[in-house]
A and B are shown apart, each in its own frame.
Chain A
Amino acid sequence: MNLELFQAQNVIIQGITGMHGSFQARAMVEAGTHIVAGTSPSKAGSLVDEIPVYNTVADIQADFSVDASVIFVPAPMAMDAILEAVDAHIPLIICITEGIPLHDMIEVRRILATSESILIGPNSPGILVPDELKLGIIPAHLSLAGSVAIVSRSGTLTYETMAGLSERGIGQRYVIGIGGDPIHGTSFIDCLELFEHDPHVSSIVLIGEVGGTEELLAADYIAGSITKPVYGYVAGHHAPAGVQLGHAGAILGSQNESAAAKTGALKKAGVKTATSITSLLSLIAADHSF
């Protein structure tokens, strides 16, 4: 990911006429995002507020160059919407939709591998660069511009972290939700790399969850490549052990997917960790009070 992605000028909304699409388009405009158009099948020619609606992304591109798309299309059609944006060479694609079938995401990842497009999500709250750019549904009024970068797998827990920092007077440069679904585009590592290289970022907050192994890979990457201070919390310390069908999970080491195991890995990588979000916020605040 490069920094220019976050200076998107012309933004479109795929699925702009739905309940969430239209509501959130308005919120993005209010936060200063320049939304030039939206798509909705068979609603071409209508307007959502002042925003023109087209049938397809290609139709929009006849009138505008598009830097980013935010997708609100329902899960059964979301794969086609993502692939339409990839096909149109849109540099930054953010998919808010949750619950896309995993086999659809396998297909998306296969095609993304040979594309220049960056996909954030699915099941992502999107990206917020406070006071500059809002792509998605992160509530901008809970943010404060500054130099902390937040990356998280969760939606609402991201807002909680951001709001908690803002209340303590600690501003944010980036707030990115990479998405809660098991298969997604941009990873923790992609975001960590961006944060390390952006001189506007002074410190990093990583919010993980039980399940999967992405936090473990992030820990390895932090140990080897990140020089800025990193704070981490993995949600789910009190989640009950799951009942797993089959042996594949255990063979592959699903015991390493617990919140405690991941927290241990992050700690070993030099991350300042906490076992609850409230104590994480206190930890960051203590380091930022001078």
Chain B
Amino acid sequence: MNKPKDHLSPLSSCCRLERVKLLEYEAKQLLADAGVLVPVSSLVQTSEALSLPLPVVLKSQVPIGGRGKLGGVQIIEQVAELADAVEALLVLDIKGYLPTVLLAEEKLLIQHEHYLALRIDRIEGVVQLMAHPKGGVEIETHTSGFFTRTFEPDQVEAIASQLALSWGYEETLPATLLQYLLTDLYDCFVANDATLLEINPLIYTTEGTFIAGDCKMELDDNAAFRHDWQFEAKSTETNFVTLDLAGTIATIANGAGLAMATVDAVADSGLVPANFLDIGGGSDIKSLLLAFERLMGFTHLQGIIINIVAGISRCDEIARAIIAAQAHIPTLPPLYIRLAGTNYEEAMELLTDAGIATLPTLEDCIIEAQEAHHL
């Protein structure tokens, strides 16, 4: 399976933006569907005969960059090399990922390698084009030469000719080809609700065509309702993050900002937070119980801080889940509970009847947890 060993969510890139990261072959299928040229290819899962003529480039399909430097891309010149290469690549771990499939592609005749990407500029709320004349794995080290524009579809002709010039093409044909390419890429970006579409390298072949050498694409999970997505790589979980398996204090909060703030406050006090958990708004008792059970996987826990400030969620729902957890999980460590906001009174009544104490603030929860810790 395509699972990372060390499961950390991309919390720092954005808490609420859930993205579907496509594998190269999935992204290239979307490119091809939009009319963008991609290498002739076939998928390989066993070392049986290839349908492509040699030489081919054999590429591990993992949802992470940097595979080339780790041996995840092999050029196969001879039939005799194929079986061993396939076998080796299928078991080659790339930063915690194993491929379920390899992509075999024709070896292109390269004249130039460029960098081209469409992304979303969050501040301006627009699609942005980013390009560099020299693509490849060292792209991040370039400090100058980037071509960045807000991508306006009705100005694609002007953008393409500026881009062609910035890449050193003085003839009209490459500019025209880039215009078609940019139009197709933008259509692909919008039609698929993409948040990132990066072609690196974009290869200009000796025959004078632009072909997508590699492609990384992320789709907006919030738009899944209007697509029939059947991709291998699923969106990463962002509401539960393991911070430290040896952590002593687990945290539960509602809302990503409050959940991060709860973790920060625990860590600032000198206690070791085990996890980040955002139960969101409107969680039901069943999903909350599952969250409690999951926390039992941390074997060093000395307490759980529950910090709920309810706006759209309701404190009484949380209270019911806490009562159920107390009843169902005999090994539950001490709970330091702070509830505030919507339906607070109902929640307090339920908890008081069940003999469960609460604390007025997050600070009080941390102080009590610290005192228990030092006993």
Contact = CB atoms under 8 A, between A and B. Distances in A.
A261 to B, nearest CB: 11
A146 interface: no
B257 A235 contact: yes
Interface in A180-210: 180-183, 187, 207, 209-210
B146 interface: yes
A117 to B, nearest CB: 15
Given A209-B260, A211-B13, A238-B267, A76 B220 contact: no
Contacts of B366: 278
A163 B268 contact: no
Contact of B12 (A103, A159, A211): A211
Contacts of A139: 309-311, 340-342
B228 to A, nearest CB: 15
A244 B65 CA distance: 8
A195 B198 CA distance: 40
A215 to B, nearest CB: 11
Nearest to B307: A160
A271 to B, nearest CB: 17
Interface in A269-284: 275-279, 281
A41 interface: no
Nearest to A180: B16
Interface string A97-133: 0111111111011100000000000010100000000
B258 A182 contact: no
A152 interface: yes
A249 B13 CA distance: 9
A103 B193 CA distance: 6
- Considering residues A20, A160, A240, A252, which has the most beta carbons from chain B within 10 angstroms of its beta carbon? A160
B134 interface: no
A58 B103 CA distance: 55
Contacts of A153: 257
Contacts of A83: none
Contact of B125 (A183, A247, A281): A183
Contacts of A251: 130, 139-140, 142, 146
A156 B220 contact: no
B10 interface: yes
Interface stretch (B105-113, B248-256, B292-300, B350-358): B248-256
Contact of A142 (B19, B196, B341): B341
Interface string B43-69: 000000000000000000001110000
Contacts of A123: 16
A155 interface: yes
A213 B222 CA distance: 21
A206 B166 CA distance: 41
A80 interface: no
Interface in B297-326: 307-312
Interface stretch (B82-90, B116-124, B202-210, B328-336): B116-124
Interface residues of A, number: 78
B123 A156 contact: no
Nearest to B216: A246
Contact of A155 (B255, B276, B361, B362): B255
B165 interface: no
Contacts of B273: 238
Contacts of A20: 282, 312
Contact of B312 (A24, A210, A242, A243): A24
A247 B196 CA distance: 10
B311 A244 contact: no
A235 B260 contact: yes
Interface of B: 4, 8-17, 19, 21, 63-65, 115, 117, 119-120, 122-127, 130, 139-140, 142, 146, 190, 193, 195-196, 198, 200, 216, 218, 220, 222-223, 225-226, 241, 243, 253-258, 260-261, 263-265, 267-269, 273, 276, 281-282, 307-312, 340-342, 360-363, 366
Given A139-B310, A160-B307, A244-B13, 9 more contacts: A102-B120, A110-B126, A142-B340, A167-B361, A210-B15, A236-B15, A243-B64, A245-B64, A251-B130
The 5 closest A-B pairs by CB, nearest first: A154-B257, A156-B255, A109-B125, A157-B257, A242-B10
